[in-house]
Chains A and B, each alone.
Chain A
């Protein structure tokens, strides 16, 4: 009886503490300081699914492209590699939304066709990270985004999802004006592994950009004979 009371009290206290953390972090998402906004998004990501009540504020933060040091979240910055020395509140908000899970999909889908290109880019990443097959048609449309870095991220997402419906559109993206987009499209085609991409990738072996040629050669090997 006593033990049960103690456990219940502990659970209530923990719940209350978590609620307090959640409210504090959600409030800090609108701080005037970009480092504070980034940290708040990182703190919410740590809560995973429990951060779901902060979804509206996180979605609003997707458009925030203020550059901050990658160390803003301490060692909690998720998966930042050696070469990435900076991040943004928007990227970390997208991470927190991915950690919440598939309930974030409608928010990402809306942001993908929104007015802010930074939000569109972060949304494309989120859809790829959540392996959102249902978003493939919308992502194919987004390969025509006016902003090159959105198209690049969209190509990555299509490769990460790995849906063969995207093959024709990605072969088209091998002729994109931006070498970054062409490179990412070649990667995506290798990741999908559909033989219909072989002709387009063979042409990309003669691209003016060495990065595209490397990626095309790799993709041809990944698709195999």
Chain B
């Protein structure tokens, strides 16, 4: 076998390996791009979740009592432990409704969040409409 034939055969073999490897990596079933997109979405959702908890904790100081109550309930539903300090603070509120909701939310937090959904505060605008129960 001449050196030239050996060279050509080696070149062919390595090309085949290169093409095969490239085919594996670039194959659409691997979805590299969408995998990265998914990670971005998860990251964005994580950020949104944290912002929501921070926003709800801030809403515990809202001027409107109804907002404070709904924020407490929501923190119980979400079940994020970062809300515990703020909810414990709310246990000392002078308003008994706030204290009651805070106690329920803390209990819910200890169970890991979730549980029963609180009813929607706003009635739908049609006087004879049927609001579908919010299911979780």
Q: Does B55 contact A (CB under 8 A)?
A: yes
- Cβ-defined contact, B134 with A191, below 8 A: yes
Q: Interface residue tally of chain A, by bracket?
A: 35 or more
**Mostly helix, strand, loop or mixed at chain A's interface?**
helix
Give Cα distance in the complex from A160 to B78, angstroms: 22
Task: Select from chain A the residue with minimum beta-carbon distance to B70.
Answer: A217
Most B-side CB within 10 Å, residue of A92, A193, A213 = A213
| Given A80-B127, A222-B134: A202 and B55 interface contact (C-beta under 8 Å) | yes
Give the CA-CA distance A46 to B3 in the complex, in Å: 97
Number of interface residues of B (CB under 8 A): 44
B64 A210 Cβ-Cβ under 8 A: yes
Smallest CB separation, B106 vs chain A (Å): 15
Closest chain-A Cβ to B96's Cβ sits at a distance in Å of 19
Q: Using A201-B52, A222-B117 as known contacts, say yes or no to A160 and B132 having CB atoms under 8 A apart.
A: yes
Cβ-based interface call for B66 (8 A): yes
A interface, CB within 8 angstroms of B: 70, 77-81, 83-84, 86-87, 91-92, 95, 125, 128-129, 149, 152-153, 156, 159-160, 162, 180, 183-184, 186-187, 190-191, 193, 195, 198-199, 201-202, 205-206, 210-211, 213-215, 217-218, 220-222, 224-225
B residues sitting closer than 8 Å to A (CB atoms) are 45, 48-49, 51-52, 55-56, 58-59, 62-64, 66-67, 69-71, 73-80, 113-114, 117-118, 120-132, 134, 136
Nearest 7 pairs between A and B by C-beta?
A221-B74, A84-B127, A221-B77, A217-B70, A210-B64, A198-B48, A202-B55
17 contacts between A and B (CB under 8 A): A77-B128, A80-B128, A84-B128, A129-B130, A160-B132, A186-B122, A199-B48, A201-B52, A206-B55, A213-B59, A213-B64, A215-B120, A217-B67, A217-B71, A218-B74, A221-B77, A224-B79
